[in-house]
Structure 1
Amino acid sequence: MSARPYITVTPPNVALHGRIAPPGSKSITNRALLLAALAKGTSRLTGALKSDDTRHMSEALRQMGVTVDEPDATTFVVTSSGRLQQPAAPLFLGNAGTAVRFLTAAVATVDGVVTLTGDAYMQKRPIGPLLETLSANGIQVEAPSGCPPVTVTGQGRLTARRFEVDAGLSSQYVSALLMLAALGSEPVDVALRGSDIGARGYVDLTVEAMRAFGAQVEQLDAATWRVAPTGYVARDYFIEPDASAATYLWAAQALTGGAIDLGVADDAFTQPDAKAHDHIAAFPRLPAVIDGSQMQDAIPTLAVLAAFNETPVRFVGLANLRVKECDRVAALHDGLNAIRAGLASVEGDDLLVAADPALAGTRTDAVIETHADHRIAMCFALAGLKIAGIRILDPECVGKTYPEYWNALRSMNVQLSEGIEA
């Protein structure tokens, strides 16, 4: 195996203080980029995230004839004819799940064939339920493995009247279809097949963003939305800070007894992961059971925090974490047990963290396999605030959503050392 870079966090042994502005929301940035590309005219997106995921989305839009300018570090200016054009080459989307799923639906309106692909991790991430409902509505799609690469043959228009989708695995399938539905020639219903939906709050984010860009969306019942054939209109749009990124700062504050000013009120976030704040504020008395189904990206943060809790914590509702950038249930289990054998166990999709406040102040020779997953790297850095010796592999993977994460820690005088794992 080739040598791999790692980073080690030196426990500061003091309360962390500082002012750190979280990056813009990845979830909202990628929704806004696509909606602006589907709107005729020029939209200015401010407060945006510039990261690997949003770079993949913006590059794909450029390949399809959309002008995307970046006048500063937090702004995209998107100018479009309102239609996506057939790209000259496949769209490479790295491991950006939002980009792949949203664009797989959106390119159904392209006049021609579009192939969407990604890295080795993306090629293991299921997209079958989305492809099934597109195919049922006469849109030609091909993905032999049920994962990217995906080939979509668009007809330049959308004639569907009703999309039905199983969203138990991911709410992104619903969001993708909703954003596509506004491009129809007549009203389109988007309906859940079954009652389960992962992280429903992200669908609410999608609907809010769609309405901001001129769409008319009516929720008929808990499982059905009706979207009018309005298309989209260009506008200026502010993107709020990323709640998932905020969870690391809230947890760093809780673990060290510090005070970190995020520059935004804790209750100002509309993203689902903001629900984690109340749990983090309860540390070291987290509840015995935490349901992760509606705040999935916050679970890695909470799982590491639970290692230092006064009592054990069972995390439930984690099925969707199995198909994220990596199998996060397994990655959290393995990482926690690398710190101390028996610290975590798995029952089905539940993660059980044994909890041991005495871990604080200890030393370990644990090596954390991140699987190039940004959230695994960032959450185990939190463990490094209390335990010496933890080596986190492939630390640059944080660039997927929070490129300045390590610098944010340094700004609070946290010492980081870098090395190469042979």
Structure 2
Amino acid sequence: MTHPADPWPAPRPTGPVHGTVRVPGSKSLTNRYLVLAALADGPSRLRGVLDSRDSRLMIQALTALGASITEVAPGTVEVVPVPDDGPRTPAGGLTIDCGLAGTVMRFVPPLAALASGPVHFTGDEAALVRPMGPILDGLAALGVRVDGPGTGAGTLPFTVHGAGTPGRVASGMAGGAEGGVEGGVEGGVEGGRIEVDASGSSQFVSALLLVAPRFHRGLHLVHTGASVPSPEHIGMTVAVLRRCGVEVDDSVPGQWRVAPGPIRALDTAVEPDLSNAGPFLAVAVATGGTVSVPDWPAQTTQIGDRWRTILPAFGATVDFSPAAADGGSTGTLTVTGSLGEDGRPRITGPGEIHGTAELAPTAAALCLLADGPGQLTGIGHLRGHETDRLTALTTETGRLGGTVEEGPDFLAFPGTAGAPDGSGPLHGATLETYEDHRMATFAAVVGLTIPDVSVRDIATTAKTMPDFPQMWTELVNGSGT
């Protein structure tokens, strides 16, 4: 029997894998919906909510700030928002444990700015080096006091001194985010125009937008950097705000205006996590098999929808079959890998793929196994994720006997022709995960082709998919449904 601390032997199939995988709800959507439900004008019901470490940490944080979140059925929660007069804090304040969840450490501090007193933020040791500076700068520009040991470096831990909240303000874009508030209500966050450099993470923008309707004058957020990584995630935030009746103007590139007003309560389902679908779809590419994921949204703001264009670059075919039952709003995405003339799997070198963002570790695994060169560019911001993913991917590739050129914002793989039959230059190894769920799935994908790959701390996948080891093993061993 394997002890939880023992390395996990990555399953290696004996032939092409064929199966269907139902992935759990999107972490990104789950935690956005939870924040908005906690600030809404009435109780909300969320279905298909992801049960993972990140979502549990978000629920704990929002509960500590005064929301009531109750599971009323498997995967369904009812959220009673914080009181109208805002989150209440006990004498001496309260402490929020962010774990290693970027959405908690970025999304909750702006909400804590509405609290009646101090809110202390901390997290896992690895979280204490993740960049937080733009959030702290944004709160300071809004007149919110933030102090603590991490503020000098722009990291956790720190304390947000809540400015209180005046209650729910009237709806409407009249006057814009720089307009006034009738009656001159005191307390709360004034809002208005601020500038933030969100080059390091789209979460810096999303965090401030999600709470902006509760600011006196809303928010006019201006991004000062060259570009924002993962723009789909900001599009997701804008979409869920609008779904809650919030007026958002994003017509000017790099600028977002959010009107002050109520956040309408939600009754909605969470889409499957398309980013987490990636490793399972990669099984088809790596083995020359076929893997299907049902309930794939026909239209979505999730960055994981990029798999439709990324995987064909590796020689796979991608097919989307709309479901008649819901009018084609969802369907089944099916990926079929390529076989060479010898009947063995063939992963073609993809050339340059730009902007894979959080999908990069899975794309890197396929680049490592491909028979030609591949380059992942525009991914420098991944150095500030759960770990420095560029360095981690370079290190673990070396552990396998492979080479990769690591640049400031790119990784270049030469390709390893012959690896699918075990005759290539790569060899087995025990791979480290760095407490990073996507490094764990990178190792699992590599283990499909390279013999004797083990993964240290596969349990780190619980961050976004607690059942990953079982789901992966069942699919690879042929018992997936």
TM-score by length of 2: 0.82
Task: Indicate the residue corresponding to 1:306 in structure 2.
Answer: 367
- Pair 1:40–1:306, CA change in 2 (3 A): same
- Quick check: 345-354 or 16-25, which moved more? 345-354
SS at match of 1:90: strand
Deviation at 1:335, TM superposition (A): 1.1
SS at match of 1:357: coil
How is 1:93-172 mapped onto 2 (pairs within 5 angstroms)?
93-142=98-147, 143-156=151-164, 157-172=188-203
Match of 2:462 among 386, 390, 399: 399
Deviations 1:147-182 (A, max 9, x none): 011210111111021121001001101001111211
Which AA in structure 2 matches 1:328? R
Q: Which has the larger strand fraction? A: 1
Judge conservation of contact 2:20–2:292 (CA < 8 Å) in 1.
yes
Structure 1: runs of 5+ lacking an equivalent: 416-422
Match of 1:337 among 359, 382, 398: 398
Task: Indicate the residue corresponding to 2:240 in structure 1.
Answer: 209
- Pair 1:219–1:348, CA change in 2 (3 A): closer
Which AA in structure 2 matches 1:138? G
Deviations 1:7-26 (A, max 9, x none): 11231122212221111111
Distance 2:407 2:223 in 1: 28
Distance 2:57 2:88 in 1: 17
Greater CA radius of gyration, 1 or 2? 2
Judge conservation of contact 2:280–2:472 (CA < 8 Å) in 1.
no
Which AA in structure 2 matches 1:129? P
Distance 2:298 2:267 in 1: 24
- Pair 1:266–1:70, CA change in 2 (3 A): closer
SS at match of 2:369: coil
Distance 2:137 2:361 in 1: 31
SS at match of 2:125: coil
State, as a whole percentage, how many aligned pairs show the same letter: 33
Task: Indicate the residue corresponding to 2:330 in structure 1.
Answer: none
SS at match of 2:223: strand
- Quick check: 394-403 or 182-191, which moved more? 182-191
Task: Indicate the residue corresponding to 1:20 in structure 2.
Answer: 21
- Pair 1:320–1:37, CA change in 2 (3 A): same
Judge conservation of contact 2:235–2:301 (CA < 8 Å) in 1.
no
Does 2:68 match 1:37? no
Task: Indicate the residue corresponding to 1:234 in structure 2.
Answer: 265
Deviations 1:85-115 (A, max 9, x none): 2265310010000111001111111111111
SS at match of 2:387: coil
- Pair 1:286–1:210, CA change in 2 (3 A): farther
Structure 2: runs of 5+ lacking an equivalent: 165-187, 315-346
Does 2:410 match 1:350? yes
Does 2:74 match 1:69? no
SS at match of 1:262: strand
Q: Which has the higher contact order (CA 8 A, sep 6+)?
A: 1
Deviations 1:116-151 (A, max 9, x none): 111001101010111112112211012233101121
Task: Indicate the residue corresponding to 2:334 in structure 1.
Answer: none
- Pair 1:141–1:15, CA change in 2 (3 A): same
Task: Indicate the residue corresponding to 1:53 in structure 2.
Answer: 54
Distance 2:458 2:237 in 1: 31
Deviation at 1:405, TM superposition (A): 1.1
TM-score by length of 1: 0.93
CA RMSD of aligned residues (A): 1.9
Aligned length: 411
Does 2:313 match 1:282? yes
